[in-house]
Amino acid sequence: GVLHEDLRLLLDTALPPKRKKVVLGVGDAKMGAAVLEELGVQCQTGGVVAELMRGIRLHFPALVRGLTAQSAAKAQLGLGHSYSRAKVKFNVHRVDNMIIQSISLLDQLDKDINTFSMRVREWYGYHFPELIKIVPENSMYCRVAKFIGNRRELSEESLEGLEEIVMDSAKAQAILEASRSSMGMDISPLDLINIESFSRRVISLSEYRKGLQEYLRSKMSQVAPSLSALIGEVVGARLISHAGSLTNLAKYPASTVQILGAEKALFRALKTRGNTPKYGLIFHSTFIGRAAAKNKGRISRYLANKCTIASRIDCFSEVPTSVFGDKLREQVEERLAFYETGEPPRKNLEVMKEAVVEANEVVAEVKRRQEKKEKKRKKREKRRLEALAAAAEEGAENSVMETE
């Protein structure tokens, strides 16, 4: 523990100058060690000290004049909140629960959009079956189907609008030509209205998914910038979600992070005494896909090690920054090049020294910005108070003049 300045002043005032024979009762052993180290006073914990403290707490309103039981309860509650807030270092911008919910919703949206798009393809395919081969992408297909409506009404005038959607003049021309010789059946206006309405819903879901992905990217840059810089926002969010929180992920060893998400394959391999999996969720990163088949296991082990370092830096650093993540990513790139060409990578100590220097510069810049914001806020508050005081003074003068 660390002895607070207020407690030091209190003990200096209350204790006698000769303190060799003084024994101080404290409730926490760590605090007792801090008092002994700073002031040289012997401290005792447990036993009779706990009973004395219980009695003091019970009769505290009677021992202090003017203090009611309600005020004491409020003071204890405020102290408890303050202690807990300092203990967990709560920061509303670094809540990883939002990341867990966002990545879960993103996965669900991907499944739903795919299912609904296939339904639109099947439904509109009765009327215009050739469009499926020309426009294979789901979201674009829904936009094109909504734009075309009845294929018989498609004309040269619609080419410009089609080009804006498909972003390809040749593809737009192919759609126009296919509509003229389509084998699809005719469709009633009521059916078209329902298809267009459903397509509009799928398009709005796709737009919402894009916004949600941007939100996830911004949250990851606030909560885990190093992890997202190293392995990407989506894979990093999946790791946090699977672990339960960023703190849990930071506590995992690299061997656990490596196979996180492949638990079924691991237990199946242990049960059948087969080969254990080499990677889990980190397989979706770009590094493992770029590695040769014989190096996939080695690079996954190395990448899991760097992910563990990045998650711990993000979890326990006061000012989160992506500097360490960028440097760790460079190390993984160098390791990939080493496996392919044999060029030796830089030493970890050298890279981390560079990262620490850059991170300190970033932190200093962030603190300067925060100080500027705080100064501006104080100036605004001061002006506001001065304006209120002037208004109150003017109101008082007016009331005096009215009474006279």
Q: What is the pLDDT of residue 371?
A: 87
Helix axes 233-243, 97-125, angle to 10 degrees: 120
Percent of the chain with pLDDT over 90: 32
Q: Can you give the pTM of this predicted structure?
A: 0.70
What distance in Å separates the CA atoms of residue 229 and residue 235, rounded to the nearest whole number? 11
Q: What is the pLDDT of residue 207?
A: 94
What distance in Å separates the CA atoms of residue 2 and residue 351, rounded to the nearest whole number? 33
Q: What is the pLDDT of residue 280?
A: 86
* CB neighbourhood size of 166 (10 A): 21
Q: Is CATH 1.10.287.4070 the right assignment for the domain spanning 97-216?
A: yes
CA dihedral in degrees (331, 335, 336, 340; nearest 10)? 150
What distance in Å separates the CA atoms of residue 351 and residue 345, rounded to the nearest whole number? 10
- Pick out the chain residues at pLDDT < 70: 1, 86-94, 400-404
Domain boundaries, the chain: 5-88, 97-216, 224-361
SS3 content of the chain, % helix, strand, coil (to 5): 75, 0, 20
Q: What is the pLDDT of residue 116?
A: 94
In 3D space, the residue among 43, 14, 11 whose CA is nearest the CA of residue 26 turns out to be 43
Tokens of 30: 């760590």
C-alpha distances in angstroms, 185 versus 129, 151, 156, 179? 9, 10, 22, 12
Q: What is the pLDDT of residue 94?
A: 62
N-term to C-term CA, the chain: 65
C-alpha distances in angstroms, 4 versus 31, 88, 240? 10, 19, 36
At residue 23, φ and ψ (nearest 5 deg) are -120, 120
What distance in Å separates the CA atoms of residue 140 and residue 151, rounded to the nearest whole number? 17
CA angle 292, 294, 297 (to 5 degrees): 95
Residues in the chain: 404
Q: What is the pLDDT of residue 400?
A: 65
Q: What is the pLDDT of residue 110?
A: 94
CA dihedral in degrees (396, 397, 402, 404; nearest 10)? 120
Q: Which CATH class is domain 224-361?
A: mainly alpha
